Amino acid sequence: MFDAAIIGARLVQYGAALVLFGSSLFFLYGVAPTGRWQRRLLIGAAAVAVAAGVAWLMAETAALTGDPKEAFQGTALWSVVTDTRIGKFGLLRIALLLLSVVALCAISFSRKLVAAQTVLGAAVVASFAWSGHAVSESGLAGLLHRAGDVLHLLAAGVWIGALVPIAFLLLQGSYPAAPMGARQAGEALGRFSGIGPAVVAILILTGMLNSAFLIDPVHWRMSVQTPYGRTLLVKLTLFAGMLLLAALNRFRLMPALTSARTGTAVAAAVGRLRMSVLTETLLAVLVIAAVAALGTLPPPM
């Protein structure tokens, strides 16, 4: 019961934090920060991450004490926040996210504000490296493992954070009254495709590095038979699906949208691209769920 609550809270906070960072960054290079929907997206992501962060600390408190009621007791919750690494970094994330919400609500929406949100989001995302298995390593190995985790998380944020606003633009472009949304989405997806190969390369290299610390390379067949190994295989399969869809978008669906000239052709191209991006986004959510589960499972090594 406790594991399910922790996984759920981790899933929501991971996802919201990745969107806060990645979407903020995307508004700097992909789509100019000029719309109210962009501010609302960032406020929503930060606010959801705050709520999930509180739920995560409460779930951890219930798991550590063995009593769900203790999660609602200030003394027990404060003890977890002040005396455990998960609690300290959880409190730090909540503070950064609250700062993000206040800034987004109080300051006029501009490129400078979005740049500040990118920095705050990056700090929140990077902090997850100190809430996972990488902290079990010490010395140079621990430093290398955590650095790999940070790069992996940030690269994931760049990808996932771009998918959400692109999906929004494609949904907006599906209406006859908003044809520019489709064109804007196609152009934004083209800009993301320019950095996509680098993002994928970082994800693959850092994923291999992190797996080397957690899965015995010599006895990897035995390792993948563990709950951790099986969950990792599910994550890798979902990631492969995202790669295939990204390649489809880049080499087939985007050129089809660009070359469409008639209203019917544009609508058909938008429909295919929209379905692909939404499916890719769904796979990303499932990947985050797998990552949230991996954090509660003991690695083979």
**Is it the case that residue 33 has pLDDT exceeding 90?**
no
pLDDT of residue 175: 42
pLDDT of residue 1: 61
In this predicted model, which residue has the larger pLDDT, 138 or 23?
Answer: 23
Distance from C-alpha of 41 to C-alpha of 46, rounded to nearest angstrom: 9
**Is it the case that residue 180 has pLDDT exceeding 70?**
no
Binning pLDDT at 50, 70 and 90, where does residue 216 land? Answer: low
State percent of the chain over pLDDT 90: 50
- The pLDDT of 109-114, averaged and rounded, is 94
pLDDT of residue 223: 75
pTM of the model: 0.92
CB atoms within 10 A of CB 85: 10
Report the chain's mean pLDDT, rounded to a whole number.
87
pLDDT of residue 178: 44
**Is it the case that residue 189 has pLDDT exceeding 90?**
no
Give pLDDT tens digits for 243-301.
999 999 888 988 887 777 777 777 788 888 889 999 999 999 999 999 999 988 888 76
pLDDT of residue 51: 97
In this predicted model, which residue has the larger pLDDT, 69 or 25?
Answer: 25
Q: How far is CA 166 from the centre of its chain?
A: 15
Highest mean pLDDT among 59-73, 114-128, 214-228: 114-128
In this predicted model, which residue has the larger pLDDT, 17 or 214?
Answer: 17
DSSP of the chain: -HHHHHHHHHHHHHHHHHHHHHHHHHHHHTS-S--HHHHHHHHHHHHHHHHHHHHHHHHHHHHHHT-GGGGG-HHHHHHHHHHSHHHHHHHHHHHHHHHHHHHHHHS---HHHHHHHHHHHHHHHHHGGGGSGGGG--HHHHHHHHHHHHHHHHHHHHHHHHHHHHHHHHHHTTSTT-HHHHHHHHHHHHHHHHHHHHHHHHHHHHHHHHHHHHS-STTHHHHTTSHHHHHHHHHHHHHHHHHHHHHHIIIIIHHHHHH--SHHHHHHHHHHHHHHHHHHHHHHHHHHHHHHHHTTS----
Give pLDDT tens digits for 118-159.
999 999 999 999 887 767 667 787 788 889 999 999 999 999
pLDDT of residue 182: 64
